[in-house]
């Protein structure tokens, strides 16, 4: 925990200095530092050894059942070893984040985008463990970019590539319709509030229906169904808590106040997060929904800085910033290292030189 925390503080500080023209290069160096440290990790995260097992045992039934794109990547890097593969993935993922942040986030908010990325455990830290889904989440940001340009072929190609890595990429398909949805929400935000609140209330009173849906998922034999639906510790650890409610209430306040001031391309990143909000309530019954929602909410790394920049009332702007920072550090980040599920796998940072 100490290694990761110190690393995070350093890269956020470097990103803060990058707001100044003469220090703009420090954003790149912040991500180079992330690559240098995270790329040599070993045994870090819940899923690390599962991925290593699949990599080392290509003839095993579990390895044979992975998506073809991931299977091919494993095959290409097998002569070089799993650690080389992990380093390659780290380079690709961090460069993708750097590219997106550099092109979309205003320089004065580089630090906030990097802060959300490294301290919100749903993104960088969980990405170190769930290697396939995290790669698809980042591909989704590029697919979203193509959706704003209405380039259907490139959008579909990116989704198809993501699908060969993890089937969860099918959730990227609705992104193509976000340009229409975001324009509507920007002008009819009050309807969005009513719909969102109504949806949450309905979900809270549909436990019977959702339980039946959950049982169908479990009976289907999907990889995560049994572990998530039958494990009370997993359910308690992933339940919809106060931290998530405050987090997204803050986001929604900033969204409805400032969405109309963003250009159409930036609006789509902001509205993308709302798709995740509609999935999160299902966490009450089906904990896997929270992990699925990250496919959309990862866009807040870009959208929150864009929205907060447009806030015209200083007390609201800095108040929302402080609340988000406090929630992220005191509840979300610290919560990961106190979790029954994740703490043992994330507390001690190990490298290839530790084994």
pLDDT tens figures, 106-149? 999 999 999 999 999 999 999 999 999 999 999 999 999 999 88
pLDDT at 215: 57
Give rounded-to-5 percent helix, strand, coil for the chain: 80, 0, 20
Alpha-carbon distance of 100 to 246, in angstroms, equals 26
pTM of the model: 0.86
For residue 218, is pLDDT > 60? no
pLDDT at 25: 95
pLDDT at 234: 44
For residue 23, is pLDDT > 60? yes
Contacts of 47 (CB under 8 A, 6+ apart): 129, 130, 131
Contacts of 264 (CB under 8 A, 6+ apart): 148, 179, 182, 183
8 A C-beta contact, residue 31 and residue 94: yes
8 A C-beta contact, residue 125 and residue 4: yes
Under the banding of pLDDT at 50, 70 and 90, the label for residue 253 is confident
pLDDT at 275: 83
For residues 284 and 150, the model is more confident at 150
Alpha-carbon distance of 71 to 49, in angstroms, equals 16
pLDDT at 112: 97
8 A C-beta contact, residue 29 and residue 339: no
For residue 84, is pLDDT > 90? yes
pLDDT at 208: 56
pLDDT in tens, 48-68: 999 999 999 888 877 778 889
Q: Which tokens sit at 336?
A: 């990961």
CA torsion 149-268-136-350 (nearest 10°) is 130
Query: 95-104, 126-135, 242-251, 279-288: which range is least confident on average?
Result: 279-288
pLDDT in tens, 299-330: 999 999 999 999 999 999 999 999 999 999 98
Alpha-carbon distance of 54 to 66, in angstroms, equals 9
> Mutual orientation of helices 288-297 and 264-279 as an angle, nearest 10°?
180
For residue 204, is pLDDT > 90? no
Sequence ranges of the domains in the chain: 2-346
pLDDT at 48: 92
pLDDT at 232: 46
Under the banding of pLDDT at 50, 70 and 90, the label for residue 289 is confident
DSSP per-residue codes, 83-122:
HHHHHHHHHHHHHHHHHHHHHHS-GGGHHHHHHHHHHSTT
Alpha-carbon distance of 50 to 82, in angstroms, equals 12
First to last CA, the chain: 18
CA angle 303, 304, 309 (to 5 degrees): 100
Mean pLDDT for the stretch of residues 17-40: 95
């Amino acid at each position: 925990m100490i290694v990761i925390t110190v690393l995070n503080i350093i890269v956020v500080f470097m990103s803060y200095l990058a707001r100044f023209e003469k220090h703009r290069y420090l954003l790149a160096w912040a991500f180079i530092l992330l690559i240098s440290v995270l790329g040599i990790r070993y045994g870090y995260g819940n899923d690390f050894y599962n991925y290593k097992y699949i990599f080392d045992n290509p003839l095993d039934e579990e390895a044979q059942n992975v998506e073809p794109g991931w299977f091919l990547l494993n095959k290409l890097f097998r002569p070089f070893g799993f650690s080389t593969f992990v380093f390659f993935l780290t380079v690709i993922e961090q460069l993708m984040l750097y590219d997106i942040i550099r092109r979309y986030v205003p320089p004065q908010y580089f630090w906030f985008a990097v802060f959300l990325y490294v301290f919100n455990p749903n993104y960088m830290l969980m990405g170190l463990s769930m290697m396939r889904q995290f790669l698809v989440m980042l591909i989704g940001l590029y697919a979203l970019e193509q959706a704003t340009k209405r380039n259907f072929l490139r959008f579909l190609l990116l989704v198809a590539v993501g699908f060969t890595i993890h089937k969860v990429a099918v959730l990227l398909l609705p992104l193509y319709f976000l340009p229409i949805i975001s324009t509507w929400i920007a002008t009819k935000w009050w309807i969005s509030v009513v719909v969102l609140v109504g949806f949450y209330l309905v979900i809270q009173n549909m436990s019977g229906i959702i339980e039946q849906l959950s049982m169908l998922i479990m009976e289907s034999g999907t990889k995560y169904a049994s572990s998530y639906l039958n494990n009370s510790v997993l359910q308690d650890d992933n339940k919809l808590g106060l931290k998530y409610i405050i987090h997204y209430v803050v986001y929604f306040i900033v969204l409805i106040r400032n969405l109309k001031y963003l250009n159409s391309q930036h609006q789509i990143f902001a509205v993308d997060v709302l798709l995740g909000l509609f999935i999160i309530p299902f966490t009450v019954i089906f904990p896997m929904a929270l992990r699925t929602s990250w496919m959309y909410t990862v866009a807040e790394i870009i959208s929150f800085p864009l929205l907060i920049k447009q806030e015209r009332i200083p007390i609201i702007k800095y108040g929302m910033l402080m609340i988000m920072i406090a929630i992220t550090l005191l509840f979300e980040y610290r919560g990961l290292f106190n979790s029954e599920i994740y703490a043992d796998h994330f507390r001690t940072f190990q490298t290839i030189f530790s084994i």
